[in-house]
Amino acid sequence: MFQSLLPEIADTVLHYLLQGFDEVEDEIKITVDTGSEQVASLSEASDGLAGELYTEEGWIARFSEYTPGN
């Protein structure tokens, strides 16, 4: 049962962490260097970091290796 809850716990923690970054964007700036470009503020580059997790092209769909039911 615990193993089946882990992905939900991880997603929830990540959601609230990213939401927190959005709320304090003036105090915490996340800079990303992709190798080909540098994004000065991740919060400014997104219309909501937490929302970036859930779309079909979101972070979970692109980077998760978890398959429900396995």
Which tens digits make up the pLDDT trace of 16-51? Answer: 998 888 888 778 878 888 788 888 877 777 778 888
Integer Cα distance of 12 and 22 in angstroms: 15
Looking at residue 68, its pLDDT comes to 58
Token pair recorded at residue 46: 């997104």
- Is residue 5 predicted with pLDDT exceeding 80? yes
| DSSP β-bridge partners for residue 39 | 32
Integer Cα distance of 1 and 5 in angstroms: 7
Mean pLDDT of 42-62: 82
> What angle is formed at CA 68 by the lines to CA 67 and CA 70, rounded to 5 degrees?
75
